[in-house]
Amino acid sequence: MPDQATLNHAAQVIAGISADKRADTALRFYFETRRYLGAREKRAITQTVFAYFRWLSWLDPKLSPQKRLEQAVTLHERFKADEKSVKAEALAVRAVPAWVAAEMELPADYLRQLQREPALWLRARPNHAHALAKSLFAAETTKLAPDAVRFTGTQDLFKTEQFKTGEFEIQDLASQLVGLACAPQPGETWWDACAGEGGKPLHLADLMHNKGVIWASDRNARRLDTLKRRAARAKLFNYRTAVWDGSAKLPTKTKFDGILVDAPCSGVGTWQRNPHARWTTTPDDVRELAATQLALLNHVAGSLKPGGRLIYAVCTLTRSETTAVADAFGAAHPELTPEPVLARTPQLLLWPHELNANGMFIAAWRRPS
């Protein structure tokens, strides 16, 4: 059980959380304004806050915030000691909000996975996963992605020499599988239309051995600034950035060998890592995002070269944002051929309990030569 000081800190963090201030943002702000807190204290506070949201609908609303936090930690400890102590029937009605059942299957293994603490995945530079895992001590590789390393230690990774010299990025395994599904070749021209802070475009750049070019666009210029900083640390230069608001007015007339639309989404696939979002995401969000996703795909489709491939990825599992978007797009673009994803089906749903990572949906098409 966390000590009283940890519970008090966690209660203050929770008081600062709102629908538009996520738990991780509130924690970052809390720590920035309390520099005296050490790494161990910060970790304990973070774990307590996340346990609270993971077990929220089990908690007694009549109790004080501190008592509810204690209740959440007790539930979490009991679950960790014996996962079967929480029945599948209880998970089905409490682990996620009721509206989700209309949007996706809810396998018992998935719901149990949601209550576990998430794995932390790193992406090593190409062919360096084993060396990185060895140098970080508490880390292991996986057959699922050649450069992925699961970190099991407790040290602050941002302070390691390996991070400062660009030997790895923190990137979830499911996101790494998106890069592998793109499989860009050195010398090709790619467009990452929702490049954000650079997770996937930097992976593409690495896979292209710094040769060829990646257009990295996003509607948020500040996110692209972060991408540039990360690219400099990783010594990757085969990219250019452009602000693009997702409208029909494209940032370039270039035709591409490949386009990745890693679209904004409800993030249901990240609910294990980000349990607060379970209680703030709404069916309206899902509906609006599905319309944005389809519009983004429609706008970029004309920029594929003959033979070029289009990859659609979203870290969500709702039907509206996954198969429904891919089916609607496919129906509107009979000139494109569905393509296998990672040598499997053209629409691939990756589940958190199968990967021990975020949930992800990937679909692919090719413009015939």
One of 182, 194, 265, 315 is an active-site residue; which one? 315
Pairing label, strands 168-170, 120-124: antiparallel
**Residue 182 appears among annotated catalytic residues:** no
CB of 210 to ligand SAM, least distance (A): 18
Cα gap 261→263, rounded to integer Å: 5
CB of 222 to ligand SAM, least distance (A): 9
Cα gap 28→13, rounded to integer Å: 10
CB of 248 to ligand SAM, least distance (A): 11
CB of 65 to ligand SAM, least distance (A): 32
CB of 112 to ligand SAM, least distance (A): 26
Cα gap 201→193, rounded to integer Å: 10
Based on CB atoms, which residue is closest to ligand SAM, 149 or 296? 296
Residue, CB closest to ligand SAM: 246
Based on CB atoms, which residue is closest to ligand SAM, 246 or 352? 246
Based on CB atoms, which residue is closest to ligand SAM, 170 or 328? 170
CB of 26 to ligand SAM, least distance (A): 20
The three-state (H, E, C) secondary structure of the chain, written as one string: CCCHHHHHHHHHHHHCCECCECHHHHHHHHHHCCCCCCHHHHHHHHHHHHHHHHCHHHCCCCCCHHHHHHHHHHHHHHHHHCHHHCCHHHHHHHCCCHHHHHCCCCCHHHHHHHCCCCCEEEEECCCCHHHHHHHCCCEEECCCCCCEEEECCCCCHHHCHHHHCCCEEECCHHHHHHHHHHCCCCCCEEEECCCCCCHHHHHHHHHCCCCCEEEEEECCHHHHHHHHHHHHHCCCCCEEEEECCCCCCCCCCCCEEEEEEECCCCCHHHCCCCHHHHHCCCHHHHHHHHHHHHHHHHHHHHHEEEEEEEEEEECCCCHHHCHHHHHHHHHHCCCCEECCCCCCCCEEEECHHHHCCCCEEEEEEECCC
Kindly give, in sequence order, each residue whose CB lies less than 8 Å from that of residue 343, ignoring residues fewer than 6 positions away.
none
Based on CB atoms, which residue is closest to ligand SAM, 95 or 224? 224
Residues that bind ligand SAM (CB under 6 A): 175, 194-200, 218-220, 223, 244-246, 262, 264, 292
CB of 304 to ligand SAM, least distance (A): 18
Based on CB atoms, which residue is closest to ligand SAM, 58 or 163? 163
Cα gap 140→10, rounded to integer Å: 31
Based on CB atoms, which residue is closest to ligand SAM, 149 or 193? 193
Based on CB atoms, which residue is closest to ligand SAM, 200 or 319? 200
Based on CB atoms, which residue is closest to ligand SAM, 175 or 272? 175
Give the full edge-to-edge strand order of the sheet including 148-151: 139-141, 148-151, 120-124, 168-170
CB of 353 to ligand SAM, least distance (A): 22
Q: How many CB atoms lie within 10 A of CB 211?
A: 11
Active site amino acids: 315
